[in-house]
Amino acid sequence: MATVSVKASKNYDIIIEKGALNRAGAIMKAAAGGEKVCVVTDDIVDGLYAGRLTSSLTAAGYAVEKFVIPHGEQSKCAAEFIRLLNFLARRRFTRTDVIAALGGGVVGDLAGFAAASYTRGMKFVQLPTTLLAAVDSSVGGKTAIDLDAGKNLAGAFYQPEAVICDYETLDTLSDEIFADGCAEVIKYAVIADSALFALLQSPVKAHPEQVITRCVEIKRDVVAEDEFDTGLRRILNFGHTIGHAVEANSDFTISHGKGVAIGMCAVAKASAAYGYCTKDCTGKIIDMVARYALPTVCPYGEPQLTAKALSDKKRRGSTIGLVVPTEIGKCRVVELPVDELSDFIRAGI
């Protein structure tokens, strides 16, 4: 078991423990209080873990309601967001009650944005069940839904009361979905920790608690310094600008993890071409991505990627902030003029 404490606009603990779902009710009662819990989950996780969570919540004295969405990125949309808000209102949830997000990044982002919006803010706890959610999206308070123009364009910074990471849930993930999370783990290693990068030479599944804890610590430190994504926190977007463009061009049939993997490889290639890092650094990144059975080659051309990337929320007027590696474990943000983005992407693909 590991506990990582986050100090932000709201202080909270991230509990990383095999079997933690069995005592989630007691943890939530201590961290969030309230009388009612709305468990938000998807139609796959519902059959796997919602019953266990509900039993724990009931034992802790909560009245429990459940809201289930179809699995997949398509559910992180305005229609499901409004449906959830209306569900909360019909069931007479109050500001002091709790939303429990049980699932991956889609569930956490949607439920978190609803928690930030309903009654202008209600209690919220993250219970990630995927590696990607455990190491990244459940931590740091970013919540959002997608718009037609791109990913995560409507949302709020809204910190949870707690994050309860039962990594036993990773055992039921398909190899493909587990690999999606590995893309984010690789990201953390490249931007902030060469020792973690070395550790990834052996499989993540060999030491899940150590890997999850280290990734969460890195994000904790970044969020503590830059909660609202105006400076340092932008380093967490390594691979994401191109990655989000890949996802959007595929109509989200390419997963977030695969998009980020492609984006990291493209940015690494372009960074070597522009002199931000060495070709050896680029080669190590691409080799690591391939080691985890993630894609390294982009299926789209520069015009398609540039068109989608220009709608990215990291654009600031006439510039867009791109995270580039300088060596394994270090990176920086380059403010690239928008009219030079196409050249950078072309160099990467």
Q: Do the Cβ atoms of 197 and 329 come closer than 8 Å?
A: yes
Give the confidence band of 233 by pLDDT, cuts at 50, 70, 90: confident
Q: What is the pLDDT of residue 121?
A: 97
Question: Above 80 in pLDDT, residue 336?
Answer: yes
Instruction: Report the alpha-carbon distance of residue 123 to residue 143 in Å, rounded.
Output: 14
pLDDT at 232: 82
Which pLDDT band, with edges at 50, 70 and 90, does 312 fall under?
Answer: low
Q: Quick one: pLDDT at residue 226?
A: 80
Per-residue pLDDT tens digits for 262-285: 999 999 999 999 999 999 999 999
Query: Considering only CA atoms, which of 225, 222, 211, 223 is closest in space to residue 178?
Result: 211
**CA-CA distance, 256 to 177, in Å (whole number)?**
10
Residue 229, pLDDT score: 79
pLDDT tens track for 27-63: 999 999 999 999 999 999 999 999 999 999 999 999 9
- Mean confidence (pLDDT) of the chain: 95
Q: How far is CA 233 from the centre of its chain?
A: 13
Mean pLDDT of 64-92: 97
Q: What is the mean pLDDT of residues 7-19?
A: 95
Q: Is residue 317 pLDDT above 80, yes or no? A: no
pLDDT digits (tens, 9 = 90+) for 179-199: 999 999 999 999 999 999 999
Query: In this predicted structure, what is the pLDDT of residue 182?
Result: 98
pLDDT tens digits for range 132-166: 999 999 999 999 999 988 889 999 999 999 999 99
Burial 160-194 (b: 16+ CB within 10 A, else e): bbbbbbbbbbbeebeeebbbbbbbbbbbbbbbbbe
Boundaries of every domain in the chain: 2-172, 175-348
Task: In whole angstroms, give the CA distance from residue 124 to residue 141.
Answer: 10
Mean pLDDT confidence for 4-31: 96
Contact 302, 196 (CB under 8 A): no
Q: Helix 256-274 to helix 279-291 angle, to the nearest 10 degrees?
A: 170
Distance CA 165, CA 217 (A): 14
Backbone phi, then psi, for 98, in 5-degree steps? Answer: -130, 135
Mean pLDDT for 71-84 is 96
Q: How far apart are the first and last CA of the chain?
A: 42
Mind listing the pLDDT tens digit for each residue in 1-12?
999 999 988 999
What is the domain class of 2-172 according to CATH?
alpha beta
Dihedral sign, Cα of residue 157, residue 158, residue 163, residue 168:
negative
% of the chain at pLDDT higher than 90: 91
Closest CA to 336 of 327, 328, 346: 346
> pLDDT at position 301, please?
96
- Residue 345: both structure tokens together: 């992407």
Tell me the two tokens of residue 165.
């990471």
Please, which pLDDT band fits residue 316 given cuts at 50, 70 and 90?
low
- CATH homologous superfamily, domain 175-348: Dehydroquinate synthase-like - alpha domain (1.20.1090.10)
Residue 314 has pLDDT above 80, yes or no: no
Q: How many CB atoms lie within 10 A of CB 7?
A: 12
